[in-house]
Structure 1
């Protein structure tokens, strides 16, 4: 049976602010044609915050929920996030990467048959530098994010932890190998 017949594995990418989730996800998709990104619907302007998301008003989001358009949705940080079902059904995809909140991992495990967690980590100094470079938050907001960075790391047999402190290529290679090792 060829690869096209296999369902895509959904990988929830999690980690603290500044760890580089979007950067790593984009680099993984660029490295392999069968790895794709699921664009989330977020109740904020499209592209706000650096992520290539689909913006929605609260009313639009409510309508999408009512229509059953989301495979998974949740609220966090005053916003609502949804993973469109159609984003998980992309042609040629073996792995679909989704930026998730750590708080919805159990929901994701229940929603997706073949699910794994890519937990990205970085040391506090790296996170602080990246958050400061973004220029989106005050020093107090950065300090609060850093205080939460090491809290509630995901656990479970489906969790793959990869450090993103060094070269992006090394992080991508480690993540791809851990998620789908080469089989002899």
Structure 2
């Protein structure tokens, strides 16, 4: 499909994907040619930890039905999409990072056979602590997220890159940057 690399970043809620990806984009060098795909999400902009295109569920459905997204999925009661234009840097040999969903991984692999899977994980204890500290969910919702994390956990042989984010953001971000640099 392209001369670039498409990296699909997955991991459970609380693993720190948004934080690690933000760190990566702040610390990458221009020659790394990294692009973080902006997602379209069916929630208001003020409720997210990432810059995204906020859409109503009806707007999202209309765009999805019109074929506006290169990839799209639903998770945790929200709809997520990545517009085709967000993958354009692939044509110029760039690396595009997509903050994806473990539940849509098989579809992503079928649609993009060259897909590189990067997994950001944290121990169950760290996940539980981070989810509680966020204060956005009830204890029942946190338990459901932790159960989903266990159900969708991938074995090491199922991913190309795995980063444990149990200590500092600097350590996890530097490890991800190093591992991406090793790809080519």
Q: State the TM-score, normalized to the length of structure 2.
A: 0.84
Q: Mind listing any 5+ residue stretches in structure 1 that lack a counterpart? A: 1-5
The answer to whether 1:17 aligns with 2:13 is yes
SS at match of 1:165: coil
Alpha carbons of 1:147 and 1:158: their partners in 2 closer, same or farther (altered >3 Å)?
A: closer
Equivalent residue for 2:115?
Answer: 115
**1:71 touches 1:111 (CA, 8 Å); kept in 2?**
no
Q: Distance in 1 between matches of 2:139 and 2:57?
A: 30
State how far apart, in whole Å, the 1-side matches of 2:4 and 2:154 are.
22
> Aligned residue for 2:160?
159
- Is the 8 Å Cα contact of residues 25 and 36 (structure 2) preserved in structure 1? yes
Higher helix share: 2
CA contact 2:103–2:152 (8 Å) conserved in 1: no
After TM superposition, give the deviation of residue 13 of structure 1 in Å: 1.1
2:53 corresponds in structure 1 to 54
Name the CA distance, whole Å, in 2 between partners of 1:62 and 1:42. 11
Q: Deviations over 1:52-79 (max 9, x none)?
A: 2211123322332233221111222222
For 2:63 and 2:170, locate their aligned partners in 1 and report how far apart those are by CA, in whole Å. 37
Equivalent position of 1:30 in the other structure = 26
Q: Take 1:93 and 1:168, find their aligned partners in 2: how far apart are those partners?
A: 28
Shift of 1:111: 2.3
Distance in structure 1 (CA, Å) of the matches to 2:128 and 2:74 = 25
The 1:173/1:87 distance shift into structure 2, 3 A limit, reads: same
Residue 3 of structure 1 is matched in structure 2 by none
Gaps of 5+ in 2: none
TM-score (norm 1): 0.84
Tell me how large the CA RMSD over aligned residues is: 2.3
1:77-88 matched pairs, under 5 angstroms: 77-88=76-87
Q: Which runs of structure 2 are paired with 1:34-183 in the superposition (5 Å)?
A: 34-90=33-89, 94-155=94-155, 156=157, 158-181=159-182
Q: Deviations over 1:15-71 (max 9, x none)?
A: 111000000111111121322211111111124232322111233223322332211
Instruction: Provide closer, same or farther for how the CA distance between residues 171 and 93 of structure 1 changes in structure 2, counting only shifts above 3 A.
Output: farther
The alignment partner of 2:7 has SS state of strand
SS of residue in 2 equivalent to 1:81? strand
Aligned residues: 178
